[in-house]
Amino acid sequence: MTDKNSLTGRTVIITGAARGLGAEAARLAVARGADVVITDVLDEEGEATAAGLGPKARFLHHDVTSQEDWQRVAAFALAESGRIDGLVNNAGVSTGQPLETETVEHFRKVIDINLTAVFIGMKTVIPVMKENGGGSIVNISSAAGLMGLALTSSYGASKWGVRGLTKVGAVELGTAGIRVNSVHPGMVYTPMTASVGIQQGEGNYPNTPMGRVGEAGEIGEAIVFLLSDAASYVTGAELAVDGGWTTGPTVKYVMGQ
Ligand X SMILES: NC(=O)c1ccc[n+]([C@@H]2O[C@H](COP(=O)([O-])OP(=O)(O)OC[C@H]3O[C@@H](n4cnc5c(N)ncnc54)[C@H](O)[C@@H]3O)[C@@H](O)[C@H]2O)c1
Min separation Cβ 145 and ligand X, Å = 8
For this structure, is 155 an active site residue? yes
List Cα–Cα distances, 90 to 2, 56, 102, 163, 225, in angstroms: 29, 19, 23, 13, 15
Binding window for ligand X (CB under 6 A); candidates: 37-45, 95-103, 121-129, 244-252: 37-45
Binding window for ligand X (CB under 6 A); candidates: 15-23, 78-86, 131-139, 245-253: 15-23
Is residue 88 at the binding interface for ligand X, with CB under 6 A as the rule?
no
Is residue 62 at the binding interface for ligand X, with CB under 6 A as the rule?
yes
C-alpha angle 212-50-128 in degrees, rounded to nearest 5 = 95
Distance CA 8, CA 11 (A): 9
Count how many Cα atoms sit within 13 Å of the Cα of residue 84 in the half-sphere of its side chain. 28
Binding window for ligand X (CB under 6 A); candidates: 50-58, 191-199, 228-236, 247-255: 191-199
Measured distance between the N- and C-terminal CA atoms of the chain, rounded to whole angstroms: 56
Is residue 49 at the binding interface for ligand X, with CB under 6 A as the rule?
no
Is residue 40 at the binding interface for ligand X, with CB under 6 A as the rule?
yes
How many CB atoms lie under 10 A from the CB of residue 104? 8
Binder to ligand X among 185, 227, 235, 243 (CB under 6 A)?
185
Is residue 64 at the binding interface for ligand X, with CB under 6 A as the rule?
yes
SS3 breakdown of the chain: % helix, strand, coil, rounded to 5?
Answer: 45, 15, 40
Distance CA 69, CA 15 (A): 12
Pair 55, 33: CB distance under 8 Å: no
SS3 248: coil
Min separation Cβ 157 and ligand X, Å = 13
Our CB check for ligand X shows the closer of 132 and 245 to be: 245
Is residue 138 at the binding interface for ligand X, with CB under 6 A as the rule?
no
Binder to ligand X among 7, 25, 26, 91 (CB under 6 A)?
91
244: left (phi over 0), alpha (psi -120 to 50) or beta: left
Is residue 126 at the binding interface for ligand X, with CB under 6 A as the rule?
no
* Catalytic residue (choose from 155, 189, 233, 253): 155
Size of the site for ligand X (CB under 6 A): 29
Chain positions contacting ligand X, by CB under 6 A: 15-16, 18-22, 40-42, 62-65, 90-94, 113, 140, 142, 185, 187-188, 190-193
Q: Which residues are catalytic?
A: 155
